[in-house]
Amino acid sequence: MNQINRIDGGLINRSNKLNFNFNGQSLEGYEGDTLASALLANGHRMVGRSFKYHRPRGIFSAGSEEPNALVQLRTGAYQEPNTRATVTELFHGLEATSQNHRGSLKYDLMAVNDLFSSFLSAGFYYKTFMWPKAFWEKFYEPVIRAAAGLGRLSGEDDPDIYDKGFLHCDVLVVGAGAAGLSAALSAGRAGARVIVMDEDFCMGGRLNVETLSVDDKSGSEWATQALAELSAMGNVRLMTRTTAYGAYDHGIVGALERVTDHLISSEKKPRQILWRVYTKRTILCAGATERPIAFGNNDRPGVMLAGAVRAYVNRWGALPGKRVAVFTNNDDGWRTATDLAAKGVEITAVIDSRDGQPPVDVPKGAAIVMGGRIVDTKGRHGIRSFTLSNGQQIPADCLAVSGGWSPNVQLTCHQRGRPTWREDIAAFVPGGELPQGMSVAGAASGNLSLSSVLLNGHDIGNSVVSDLGFTPSKVKSSSSEEETTGISAFWHVRESKVRAWLDLQNDVTVKDVKLSHQEGFRSVEHLKRYTTLGMATDQGKTANIPALAVMAECTGKSLPETGTTIFRPPYTPVAIGALAGRARGKDFRPSRLSPSHSWAEEQGAVFVEADMWYRAQWFPRTGETHWRQSVDREVTQTRASVGVCDVTTLGKIDVQGRDAAEFLNKVYANAFAKLPVGKVRYGIMLREDGIMMDDGTSARFAENHFVMTTTTANAVSVFRHMEFCRQCLWPEMDVHLISSTEQYAQFAVAGPNARKLLQKVVDSDHDISNEAFPFMACGEITICGGVPARLFRISFSGELAYEIAVPTRYGDSLVRTLMAAGEEFDVTPYGTESLGVMRIEKGHAAGNELNGQTTARDLGMGRMVSKKKDSIGNTLSERDGLNLENGLSLVGFRPVNRSEELKAGSHFITKGNTANMANDEGWMSSVAFSPNLGHSIGLGFIKRGSERMGEVVLATDPIRGGEMDVEIVSAHFIDPEGERLRG
Amino acid sequence: MAKFTLTANTPLGGFSHDFKGVSISEVNGRSIVSLATPLGGKEAVSKALAKTYKLEIPEPGKSTVSSLDNAVLMGMAQDQTFLVFDHTEDKPIDVVSKHLKDTAFLTDQSDSYVMLRVSGENSRSVLERICPIDLHPSVFPEGSVSRTIMEHLGTVIVHEKANTFLLMSARSSAKSFLEAVEVSALNTV
Amino acid sequence: MIINHPLLGPRDAAEFVYKGDASLINRPDWQADDAAELFHEYLYLRDNPAGEHRELWYHEQGDRSWLIVTRNTLTHDISKVEFARDVALAERSKK
Amino acid sequence: MKYSGFKVIKEALTGHKGWKPVWRTPKPKKEYDVIIVGGGGHGLATAYYLAKEFGITNIAVLEKGWIGSGNVGRNTTIVRSNYLLPGNEPFYEFSMKLWENLEQDFNYNAMVSQRGILNLFHNDAGRDAYARRGNSMMLAGADAVLLDQEGVRKMYPCLDFENARFPIKGGLLQPRGGTVRHDAVAWGYARGADNHGVDIIQNCEVTGMNIENGVCTGVETSQGSIKAKKVAVCVAGSSSRVMSMAGMRLPIESHVLQAFVSEGLKPILPGVVTFGAGHFYVSQSDKGGLVFGGDIDGYNTYAQRGNLPVVEDVCEGGMALMPMIGRARLLRMWGGVMDMSMDGSPFIDKTHINGLYFNGGWCYGGFKATPASGWCYAHLLAKDEPHPVATEYRLDRFRRGAMLDEKGVGAQPNLH
């Protein structure tokens, strides 16, 4: 039998029937339904289990505040845990299952927890599970963890895609109910750029669920008309299914648009879009949330919020029960009785906690109890009846409860705002210190009657736009009939002898709050943390205020004195995938490709990530099965003849200006002022604290023009640092910096035949002989018949070497040309591994040594730090702690047993000492196999290293289970005199 | 004479594609020279520019267009202006220094950028997915220039004319940048 | 956060890189008798106020200017944005 | 009152009438031997150990709000002792050992859960650095395991091994690392200290320091002036504010670190994992929430909230590392104010003012240090000399050039 509880009316499209599946059962609903309304229409009351006691749970609300009706939506990798049925738009083919039960929903084995509930009181776990000690990890905790959580992730990669975007407007209207639409009309008519967002798929808010009329139209008709007017305005953007979830500094609002969640498939479009909204003004029209009253066994399926009950009836034509009763402390609750009675639904009783006369006409046949108290309910899987304090039992399969409405102040509190209490409506309303540019209108500001909401929205819309310099339109506010909104605060039924729920999802009861008070957890934050109140997926939207009221009662303080916990973003939970947007997998970060990348790919190069760059690591040749074979060959061939390596990734900074030389003299620790034009110098750059920041070369191309290189890793931070020096420290200097990293493709050409190779491509009018172009020369030349190039005679490998740079557009062509020209020399390309081997052979420091913890002195370059001039870092580099007699120094290491392989990260211990931290004397920073020496070599830091040449120490590597004797040697393993590079 | 010759390539091989209501195409054939104004030398640069390109130095965030070489002068910073002009040969600096003599410090940036033109009625909707700058004509009118960040990549955006934007981003990450723009189009239209 | 750049208008703080207290533009004299102590105070000690704070931001994804932003560290309200270079030059002319 | 399973059962059967407040609510006395300013984890631990281990019980802990309202109540609950430098590692290992016996020691179940912490690396340099660090840990008597890619895959098959921009090459595992129920640490220490007679005074803000002739004699508070032989400041993010009352400037900046928790989920992550190529670390709580975080926002602030770019950056890291969390929803985000020091390492030291002591500069790593910080601070207060594992945490180390810079980024607090 289908849709047994479907009645006439509502904003659903009965001509579009949708089939869906809940817990394996095929059901039908209509377009316009939510999963919750469709389940109710099909007579499903029980839809889940609570967190701790596994009590049966039914649909409680009709919105995003839902604590109970959480389902697992979709299947397989698309499985989406903890999804609120109340805001899940029904679609054809929807599949959902209930959560948090072992066995079936109806017969949950974990429901045994409920029997032991008195042992599982708030915070019980802090007091036990401590003995015997080993049992916590082995037994108690695994049991607790097995019970954790509600829904389940699939464990598979999220198959959907997400996107992000930026929106800009004058006015952002959050919430498109009566207040939001009124405000948007005011702002839109005045010509402001307006964005209206609503979390619902159908704008109108409670206009769509109440039977009140506006301007002699039904609420939903008025909303439709307002939306038509707004969507015709070019300056207004309407966004449904979009939740403003957080208010951030300076008027930035985070919003989530659910683009395809209401479709069976995303079809490769983004499932959700995360919007960053930059707005001059925000008008928060987020409405209000109804809250329950706590009484005995008030958690049974069928006990619902009164406003939700009439929402299901009025908007969706779905009947939550056949025999409905109302329990209220306010006039609004009565609307549920009158609305339902008007639809012919049986109202068994209206219980009003207030004394006096009924505020409205009494529905026929209903028992009316003024000053009434419900103390208990009955019904195992859903309410069947309830009991009043006088013992009277009243039947009902749906109990509509209203404890009044709490304005949705969350976004007003995301920064410093704290809500203030209004006794007349028994609710917190937005207080001071709202986020920049935010105003609040409608129910969110405490206006609870429709007529006041409409007027308030209209007026605030107008005042906001006139603030921004627009002329408000003269159109008057729409209006509605008057209604009564009386309320008298009433939070929980003291007469109840059994557990009365406050937080339905986390199973926090009135007793728990009292226990929390008894044990001294009285601050609201202690209460929250001790009982877990409000920490469930609904963030306590319906639970917090009643619970605070119970605490206030215990302490004898007023509710405003008791305060509220801090509202944190997000307003409703946001998928992590959406917050990440496109950044995942290979798209996590951009890829920078060097000019020779395509060519290297063709060569079958293996690439390595170096920051954002991909660099060729080595170039395997046919027959090479291990990377070491390739690297050994590249190194050997380069040292024997010539090799080519793409070094484009090194940072290049163009430094120009009348004071360029003096500027470099200040940013480098060593002298630069007198570097001749046409020469390159190696420079070390310190941080102001005297630690090595970076090293590189600077080449002087003209009196006022230098080209600096930095390491690949520090290119950006060095540029930033130099801009700081230029603008903030020495603003009187005429210096100009611009990065030219991208502008030039740069290749190292190294090896005894480097010159011969280059001479084949360099245009003949440029003499690059050793005499004309010696070591550390630089110059602007042309190659291959006029292509401009820069040539640097510098060497990282220790060989006769050059670096040649051409405009990037020629990079691909140049590497191919060098390979072709080098064929006669058996030229080899080499990658970063070989680069590393050769620099270790040569004793050059690199990233592992320049790790931000070492000084020039540690690196054996202490004497380069000039004491005769002011440079960054020179003063503080003189501190005692950086000049210890037994300080570290960088030296070379080789295994005493040459066949052993050194391990980077080993620590050094003097022979005979115990290997412990007190005897730790340093560490191995870089290692390589030297094909030239035929054994493993390493660079490392050890105390007084430079004085300990020849000493054998222990290199201990407990993490890999090894240790070996190593000999301290010079870091210059190859050509210590530097004859090759000058050759 | 060297027997080798070098051939130039472009960052994206001349990419061009039309999506619904928006076209994305690589722009080539332009050179970019950065002009750094020496301390106290603004007047001299202005004079030289006025004489040759008939242009003033634009404020940062603005651009001006000259008929000479279709040059666009973009204000990048207080002391930095980009001159973007039709020139496909090497050494664009020689062209500029002919006009400006030594009034400004020049740096060739022609090979530093990939340029994409995004045009069509949907161009703003597409760019709103990645561009943090407000591109509404009331805020970012034609001629506006901005350097910002899109999908982790530094990007210069120029509002060339109605519904037409020029994007400049680093050449080495041209493929990632194109993907960022393309995916925006695919996700939007 | 949004930083209202003196020339470019409001820009998301994500375009900027933060450095710290604006006093970092006042680098001590390396030849002062107590240079070591002055540099220690300059580099390491901070007022770290709860309230108005003058601080350095670098517009890395923008015009590459260093700015001095006056911002309240309790509310994040920004009351002033200046070019650090202008401030540095002005302080020099005072001396 | 001793807590035990039997006690819980007894109370359950008798209507929970016997539970007493976990700590008393005393009025401040006129004078104490030691006043501890700051009722966070470190302050409460200091009081507890002073009373229990060093026999000083005439102590007040002054807290301007509710105890545990600072970083002990707003962190991502991770404990570990995987440090590199000899000035740090023995201290954190001492802390780890205290964690391991904490519950029995203070009779409160803080749910110390040693499910391991795994720091991933993504390149050879990362491996070398972690090998060096792991060796440091082992030389200091801690546990460490260097895993290769297969080792990581066995523990965490759900990570992105196939399509990552920065492929996982391996990781440094500390099996004894894990998580602790953070609030319970504050409550457990409070309960323990209270049992030893320590006065815990909430809603008592220190408004001034009484310093005469270079000697600190007590404090002014919102509840009147209180004398003390020794005043021990321990206020994390508020360090600069409080010490400025004594005229001191500190090598500290206050920054916000955001933290995040997802909706409750059935267990899927056994231990703590940190991403090495982005800013993301995560664990799953005993309630089922994924608890995660990343980098600090990076600007000075005293506001306990951050901004969106960091939220997005952290989630980007999360999705890059484990794309299976895309459909999990972020439930709550919050911020804590970190006392970021100039080298990323803390201070436990006397000041130049007699009777005034300072503990701070914990950056975002204070939680794991809580027991050792309390113990070592208590040692310093009781004996006027540093505990052997905390000898490097001196305020003058920058003047001497003896920085403890684990990350190697220099005097730039927002980079530590």
The CA distance from A641 to A632, in Å, is 14
The CA distance from C9 to C5, in Å, is 5
Summarised one tens digit per residue, pLDDT across range D42-75 is 999 999 999 999 999 999 999 999 999 999 999 9
Q: What is the mean pLDDT of residues A631-639?
A: 98
CB contact under 8 A, A852 and D405: yes
The CA distance from A353 to A106, in Å, is 33
Coil, strand or helix: which one is B114? strand
Other CB atoms within a 10 A radius of the CB of residue D15 amount to 9
Instruction: Give the CA angle between residues A390, A393, A394 to the nearest 5°.
Output: 125
pLDDT of A807 reads 98
In this prediction, residue A507 has a pLDDT band, given cuts at 50, 70 and 90, of: very high
What part of B 132-171 touches C (C-beta under 8 Å)? 132, 146-149, 154
Q: Which residues pair with D290 in a beta bridge?
A: D284
Contact A588, D166 (CB under 8 A): yes
Contact A221, A321 (CB under 8 A): no
pLDDT of A483 reads 87
The CA distance from D363 to A610, in Å, is 29
Give the number of A-B residue pairs with CB atoms closer than 8 Å. Answer: 152
Burial status of residue C31 (CB atoms within 10 A of its CB: 0-12, 13-18, 19 or more): exposed
Does position B1 have pLDDT exceeding 50, yes or no?
no
Contact B179, B15 (CB under 8 A): no
Is B121 within 8 Å of chain C by CB?
Answer: no
Biggest alpha carbon–alpha carbon distance for chain D: 67
Which contiguous run of DSSP H or E holds residue D93?
A: helix D89-100
As a residue count, chain A comes to 983
DSSP string computed for D346-396: -EEEE-SSBTEEEEE--BT-HHHHHHHHHHHHHHHHHHSS--GGGTT--TT
Q: Closest chain C residue to A435 measured between Cα atoms?
A: C75
Q: Closest chain A residue to D2 measured between Cα atoms?
A: A127
Contact D29, D60 (CB under 8 A): yes
Q: Which residues pair with C53 in a beta bridge?
A: C71
Of A374, A370, A348, nearest in space to A359 by CA: A370
Q: Which residues pair with A428 in a beta bridge?
A: A421
Backbone torsions φ then ψ of D64, nearest 5 degrees = -75, -25
**Running DSSP on this structure, what letter comes out for residue A363?**
P
- Residue identified by tokens 């790790």 is A851
What part of A 144-183 touches B (C-beta under 8 Å)? 161, 163-168
Residue in B78, B135, B169 to test binding to C, most C beta-carbons within 10 Å: B78
The CA distance from C84 to A941, in Å, is 40
Q: What is the mean pLDDT of residues B20-41?
A: 97
Of A730, A725, A721, nearest in space to C89 by CA: A730
Summarised one tens digit per residue, pLDDT across range A31-79 is 999 999 999 999 999 999 999 999 999 999 999 999 999 999 999 999 9
Is A882 within 8 Å of chain D by CB?
Answer: yes
Tell me the two tokens of residue A93: 């083919």
In this prediction, residue A130 has a pLDDT band, given cuts at 50, 70 and 90, of: confident
- What percent of the residues of chain C are helix, what percent strand, and what percent coil, each to the nearest 5? 30, 35, 35
Summarised one tens digit per residue, pLDDT across range A177-189 is 999 999 999 999 9
CA A607, distance to chain mean position in Å, is 29
The CA distance from A203 to A961, in Å, is 66
Is C75 within 8 Å of chain A by CB?
Answer: yes
Q: Closest chain D residue to C56 measured between Cα atoms?
A: D299
Other CB atoms within a 10 A radius of the CB of residue A769 amount to 9
Task: Give the orientation angle of helix D41-54 with respect to helix D366-383, to 10 degrees.
Answer: 40
pLDDT of A1 reads 54
Cα distances (Å, whole numbers) of residue A512 to A374, A569, C10, D14: 20, 26, 50, 15
Is C89 within 8 Å of chain A by CB?
Answer: yes
Give A463's contacts (C-beta < 8 A, 6+ positions apart): A439, A472
**Running DSSP on this structure, what letter comes out for residue B136?**
-
Give percent above pLDDT 70 in chain D.
100
Tell me the two tokens of residue D141: 């008597």
The CA distance from A484 to A359, in Å, is 8
List the single range of A101-110, D358-367, D388-397 with lowest mean pLDDT: A101-110
Q: Closest chain C residue to A416 measured between Cα atoms?
A: C75
Q: What is the mean pLDDT of residues D384-403?
A: 98
pLDDT of C38 reads 98
Q: What is the mean pLDDT of residues D377-393?
A: 98
The CA distance from A870 to B139, in Å, is 46
The CA distance from B182 to B22, in Å, is 10
Q: Closest chain D residue to A847 measured between Cα atoms?
A: D125
In this prediction, residue A472 has a pLDDT band, given cuts at 50, 70 and 90, of: very high
List the single range of A125-134, A627-636, D57-66 with lowest mean pLDDT: A125-134
- Torsion of Cα atoms, C46 then C47 then C51 then C52, to 10°: -80
pLDDT of D121 reads 98
Select the residue of C12, C15, C64 nearest B77 (Cβ to Cβ): C64
Number of Cα atoms under 13 Å in the Cβ half of residue A255: 30
Q: Which residues pair with B114 in a beta bridge?
A: B169
Is D400 within 8 Å of chain C by CB?
Answer: no
Q: Which residues pair with A908 in a beta bridge?
A: A955
Does position D182 have pLDDT exceeding 60, yes or no?
yes
Contact residues, chain D, for A573 at CB < 8 Å: 262-263, 329-331
Q: What is the mean pLDDT of residues C26-44?
A: 97
The CA distance from A721 to A707, in Å, is 16
Contact A893, A902 (CB under 8 A): yes
Which contiguous run of DSSP H or E holds residue A214?
A: strand A213-214
Of C64, C50, B41, A194, nearest in space to D243 by CA: C50
pLDDT of A148 reads 86
Summarised one tens digit per residue, pLDDT across range D209-267 is 999 999 999 999 999 999 999 999 999 999 999 999 999 999 999 999 999 999 999 99
pTM check: above 0.90: yes
Does position A143 have pLDDT exceeding 90, yes or no?
no
Contact A81, D265 (CB under 8 A): yes
Mean pLDDT of chain A: 96
Backbone torsions φ then ψ of B97, nearest 5 degrees = -70, -20
- Residue identified by tokens 């970012």 is B140
Does position A632 have pLDDT exceeding 70, yes or no?
yes
Residue in A654, A728, A877 to test binding to C, most C beta-carbons within 10 Å: A728
Which of left, alpha, beta for A611 (phi over 0: left; psi -120 to 50: alpha)?
Answer: left
Which contiguous run of DSSP H or E holds residue A227?
A: helix A219-231
Coil, strand or helix: which one is C20? strand
Q: Closest chain A residue to C68 measured between Cα atoms?
A: A728
- Torsion of Cα atoms, A848 then A852 then A854 then A859, to 10°: 50
Contact residues, chain A, for C24 at CB < 8 Å: 728
pLDDT of A299 reads 98
Of D412, C83, C62, D342, nearest in space to A728 by CA: C83
Coil, strand or helix: which one is A839? helix
Summarised one tens digit per residue, pLDDT across range D283-327 is 999 999 999 999 999 999 999 999 999 999 999 999 999 999 999
The CA distance from A493 to A515, in Å, is 17
The CA distance from A927 to A946, in Å, is 18
Does position A116 have pLDDT exceeding 80, yes or no?
yes
Tell me the two tokens of residue D170: 């391996």
Of D269, D276, D277, nearest in space to D120 by CA: D276
ipTM: 0.98
What part of A 597-626 touches D (C-beta under 8 Å)? 608-609
Is A743 within 8 Å of chain B by CB?
Answer: yes
